[in-house]
Amino acid sequence: MSHTSFEQRVFSGVQPTGNLHLGNYLGAIVKFVALQETHNCLYCVVDQHAITADIQPPNVLKNNIREVTAAFLAAGVDPKNHIVFNQSQVSEHAELAWVFNCIARIGWLNRMTQFKDKAGKNKENASVGLFSYPNLMAADILAYKATHVPVGDDQKQHLELARDIATKFNQDLAEAIRSCGHEGDFFPLPEPLIQGSATRVMSLRDGSKKMSKSDPSDLSRINLLDDADTIMKKMRKAKTDAEALPSGVDGLQGRAEADNLVGIFAALSNISKQSVLNDFGGKQFSDFKPALAELAVTTLSPIACEMKRLMNEPDYIDDILRDGAHKAKTIARPIMDDIKDILGFIR
Binding residues (CB under 6 A) for ligand AQP: these are 14-15, 17, 23-24, 27-28, 151-152, 154-155, 199-201, 210-214
Question: Residue 150 Cβ, how far from ligand AQP at the closest point, in Å?
Answer: 7
Question: Residue 31 Cβ, how far from ligand AQP at the closest point, in Å?
Answer: 8
CA neighbor of 165 nearest in space, from 181, 180, 185: 185
CA distance 15 to 52: 10
Q: Is 121 a catalytic residue?
A: no
Beta bridge partners of 148: 10, 191
Instruction: Give the number of residues written for the chain.
Output: 347
Question: Residue 285 Cβ, how far from ligand AQP at the closest point, in Å?
Answer: 21
H-type helices in the chain, by residue range? 22-24, 30-35, 58-75, 92-101, 106-110, 113-119, 128-142, 156-172, 174-179, 228-237, 256-269, 273-280, 285-311, 314-343
Give 336's Cβ-side CA count (13 Å radius).
22
- Pick the catalytic residue from 31, 210, 273, 329: 210
Question: Residue 176 Cβ, how far from ligand AQP at the closest point, in Å?
Answer: 33
- Pick the catalytic residue from 62, 156, 168, 213: 213
Q: Is 213 a catalytic residue?
A: yes
Tell me the residue type at 215: D
**17 vs 240, beta carbon nearer ligand AQP:** 17
**74 vs 151, beta carbon nearer ligand AQP:** 151
Largest CA distance in the chain: 69
**177 vs 307, beta carbon nearer ligand AQP:** 307
**30 vs 96, beta carbon nearer ligand AQP:** 30
CA distance 286 to 289: 6
Question: Residue 236 Cβ, how far from ligand AQP at the closest point, in Å?
Answer: 20
CA distance 288 to 284: 6
CA distance 207 to 195: 20
Query: How many C-beta neighbours within 10 Å does residue 16 have?
Result: 27
**180 vs 295, beta carbon nearer ligand AQP:** 295
Tell me the residue type at 216: P
Torsions phi, psi of 42, nearest 5?
Answer: -120, 125
**181 vs 216, beta carbon nearer ligand AQP:** 216
Question: Residue 194 Cβ, how far from ligand AQP at the closest point, in Å?
Answer: 8
At 290 the three-state DSSP class reads: helix
Name the DSSP class of 202: B
Which residues form the catalytic set?
Answer: 118, 210, 213
